[in-house]
A and B are shown apart, each in its own frame.
Chain A
């Protein structure tokens, strides 16, 4: 294992063992997987997406496109596409390479590389078209198998994730020199500050630079001192391993904090990641800059990497990336990297500088070290198969020289990271002289500082950092700061014509692909991107976008800004789904509403059905009963004896105030003026368009007070609808609306013996029909608690609905049940309720109506007050299509074969023998077996249905045609004698 003991600002002392592709290696505490592998002489870490070319780490950080591996702890905790340059090693870490078979060194998929001359950008648009059917079955499965990188997990994720909201004066994204200084200056002013950095340690580039001195300290020492100072400040929250992944409206920044991925045995109570949503007074973006690679043939062989990455591997992790290292550059920083490597004993046979003009002082330095520099040269070829072995360099007219190397470091300059700035909707500004885009002015309160602002000198960075938070930077003495200026974008040499010069490594996009796209008329950079997939890999073009743009602009002979810059999209780096979800899963995915009687139902064997957010008792099967048998029994018992039913989910709204009746007149189609206190009425609510919106029974308790009920799912929107009209159209009305859904428990007692059941429990009202007739309401006492007792029926039987305060719900229910059970009554669920109401022809809004049905269509014209000057929906109901003949109207259906139960949703035609497409007259809205009537019953919406009574129609099913007869929709007790019993 190669290490330079004197280097390695991030290294600890502990030896750590891990495996890669099943083989055990040793690394040192603080290593990333990539640094540890390189220390073990392993450069080959992955295979590319399309051509399956062997690849090593190009970078040393989050921008890495090549070294993607699968990291796993156990069969459920498998993480594909992990960047080896980011993953910290821990004892027992298991990693394996991806997108190769059977092994990384010998991958049969590499046959694609031989085919590569044909597999250029967009080749799939031009072929695989014939025969037409073959795409789905032959070509596409082949392409799908070949594509993709790692493999998705196959088991449920056992880890958990957390979510937090935070507010602060200043959030700083990036904890390099700029970010640390900004955080310090902001904190010094007394601001609350959050500062985050994606790496394990704060300090950014300072940890990779051993020459720089700040106030006599090394960069790493200075950073450590700053971190200590900030950590001591209660107003500052330091978040390491935390990526600022997105910038949202009104200064909200999304951060994702990785908590356990670097830990060998994470405590089970720790979340794996925590997502922060930070709303800040000011956002300071100090994301730094990302080095660009050089575009030349063979620039993807393992051992070829960014100069800055080589410097990081050396100075942060003590790992020299090779023994004999070539340099290819268009930027001064690569010289610093080369000199560092030289210093630790690496051989630097040549520096190939793409520029013809190079800073004399740097050249002198190279000369002093005996390193040959070739100016105005380019690399035309590299040799090696799984690792670089040599380079061929061209310079001047035709000189061509070769060097053996085992690594090649390169730099085409530095691209300011505009990701978050751009997401804040700042438009990037092109700097022609420096050949880079700089952050434009943001419409939000954010400022870019340091490398991401194109600022070069550290002294300037500090000044800018202080200014960005309105503070003052301390005076620092800075020595040996290397300039990041210079650089180039685009292809070098003749790589537009020859060889494979990669622009986007992971997606295997070459300079020639960009040229092909331009040749084919892709003149917008967005077209180039989409046609070639340049910049669409998991690194999202951090290395490739500028090169792609420069090549396209050059070929189009247009200035770069005219070709355009692709949009920077969140997230900055790929972000775990689980982190977005946080706690919102399992039982916390969506609230589950339960009635006060829910637990009793569960204890008594109820099956439940979800209805909006509620769980409702669906039916109560006895031992051995099917659903059908249970529902049959429940219906029969209600009709013959009685049943009790939990109706607590019904929406309830208290409408009170001197103008309550006037308000009800507006909101409901019915008239409310004549309704006497103590009486109840079925009300229909429309929207302005005249279609049924909701319904329910309304009890008038006093001249100024209504107890309104709504459908179970409709309560919130009905209240909102009422509030809207009350607050904005009729604000002068003295009415107050209160949601009381959860305040009342509602117990329906229905059936011939209902009165007998509740009579002993009720005080304060006589239950006979003279004092409490059908459709009336009384305030009384039940089981000694205040109650609102309705005499109403949704079953067609004598019925009561008891409303008591929710807290008494269960005990009153049990008291009622204690009376009911000995009499042979039952408890019934929603399914029996549906059957019973359908036998009686009562509609359910949302089932028998669907938002296109008017009260007239539903046969409820009687519920529309004729004389009211206004109600919501009155004008809508007069529209031409709503009054014309042939509308679908709600009728009953009887099947000619009484045993046949229609399927809900089945369509109805007049002539079943017509060809497809058939002329459909309507459909079945509700359909049940009626045990009481001994035949099936159904309701249906049918064109002109009211005029079709007695007509035979047909329901064509897949395997049969069912004959039906149109009937009225009231099947049971059409005269309504029972309810008035």
Chain B
């Protein structure tokens, strides 16, 4: 069972309090109807699914109820960073730094 730090509650809580909400930073365009079928497929179906650093969303569903983002390594399952929804995606340089 993962131990997850909620950036809103600022506490480590067991995974049972959370729900994974899939890949982070998938952009829903404001003018959806202008999207091509390929772009729609990219947004709705295609996933990074990386072996390594993954940017993913969690919801503290049985806690504060907030959605937030996390950087987690998918081989060790270690959390490298959590940050609130709406905060920018860490840059590649920042991610490389986290991995050290």
Q: Cβ of A728 < 8 Å from any Cβ of B?
A: yes
Contact assessment for A870 and B32 in the assembled complex, using a CB-CB cutoff below 8 Å: yes
Q: Which of A248, A279, A425, A728 contacts B76 (CB 8 A)?
A: A425
Contact status B67-A874, CB under 8 Å: no
Given contacts A723-B67, A875-B33, A878-B33, contact A443 B78 (CB under 8 A): yes
B2 within 8 A of A: yes
Partner of A728 from the list B30, B35, B67 (CB cut-off 8 Å) is B67
Return the CB mask of B55-81 against A: 1 if under 8 Å, else 0: 001010100011100000000111000
With A250-B3, A724-B21 as known contacts, state yes or no: A875 contacts B35, CB within 8 Å: yes
Q: Cβ of A876 < 8 Å from any Cβ of B? A: yes
Are A874 and B59 in contact, with the CB atoms below 8 A? Answer: no
Bound-state Cα–Cα, A248 to B1, Å = 7
Contact with B along A221-264 (1 / 0, CB 8 A): 00000000000000000000000000011111000000000000
Question: Out of B1, B40, B85, which one reaches A875, CB within 8 Å?
Answer: B40
User: Once bound together, how far apart are the Cα atoms of A689 and B37, in whole Å?
Assistant: 11
Give per-residue flags for B1-21: 1 if the beta carbon is below 8 A from chain A beta carbons, else 0. Answer: 111000000000010000101
A443 touches B21 (CB 8 A): no
CB–CB B65/A723 < 8 A: yes
Name the 9 nearest CB pairs between A and B, nearest first: A875-B32, A250-B3, A727-B67, A728-B85, A249-B77, A728-B67, A688-B44, A729-B28, A443-B76
Q: Does B50 contact A (CB under 8 A)?
A: no
B59-A723 in contact (CB<8A): yes
Bound-state Cα–Cα, A689 to B19, Å: 22
B86 at the interface (CB under 8 A from A): yes
Q: A249-B77, A720-B61, A727-B67 are in contact. Are A279 and B33 (CB under 8 A)?
A: no
Complex CA gap A217/B31 in Å reads 82
Chain A interface category by residue count: 20 to 34
What chain B residues lie within 8 Å of A129 (beta carbons)?
A: none
- Which B residues are CB-close (under 8 A) to A875? 32-33, 35, 40
Cα of A252 to Cα of B30 in the assembled complex, Å: 44
Chain A positions 873-900 with a Cβ under 8 Å from a chain B Cβ: 874-876, 878-880
User: Contact at B59–A279, with CB atoms within 8 Å?
Assistant: no
A216 lies within 8 A of chain B by Cβ: no
Chain B residue total in the interface (Cβ 8 A):
27
Using a CB-CB cutoff of 8 Å, which residues 716-750 of chain A contact chain B?
720, 723-724, 727-729, 731
Q: Give min CB distance, B10 to chain A, whole Å.
A: 18
Which A residues from 410 to 430 make CB contacts under 8 A with B? 425
Cα A251 to Cα B1 with chains together (Å): 9
Contact present for A249 and B1 (CB under 8 Å): yes
Q: A870 to B33, Cβ gap below 8 A?
A: yes
Cα distance A878–B77 in the bound complex, in angstroms: 38
* Smallest CB gap from A277: residue in B: B1
User: Which residues of A sit under 8 angstroms from B78, Cβ to Cβ?
Assistant: 250, 443
With contact pairs A727-B66, A728-B67, A879-B40 given, residues A874 and B32 touching in the complex (Cβ less than 8 Å)? yes
B63 CB, min distance to chain A CBs, angstroms: 13
Chain A residue numbers with a CB within 8 Å of B77 are 249-250
Whether A728 pairs with B57 at a CB distance below 8 angstroms is: yes
| A251, B21: Cα distance in complex, Å | 24
When distances are taken between beta carbons in the complex, the residues of chain A under 8 Å from B2 are: 249-250
The distance from the CB of A780 to the nearest CB of chain B, in whole angstroms, is 32
CA of A249 to CA of B15, assembled, Å:
11
Contacts of A689 in B (CB 8 A): 44
Closest Cβ–Cβ distance, residue B68 to chain A (whole Å): 9
Centre residue among A723, A724, A728, A874 by max chain B CB count within 10 A? A728
Instruction: State the Cβ distance, A446 to closest chain B Cβ, in Å.
Output: 14
Distance to closest chain B CB from A365 (angstroms) = 50
Q: Which residues of B contact A250 (CB under 8 A)?
A: 1-3, 77-78
Complex: how many Å from CA A250 to CA B15? Answer: 11
Q: Is B85 a contact partner of A727 (Cβ separation < 8 A)?
A: yes
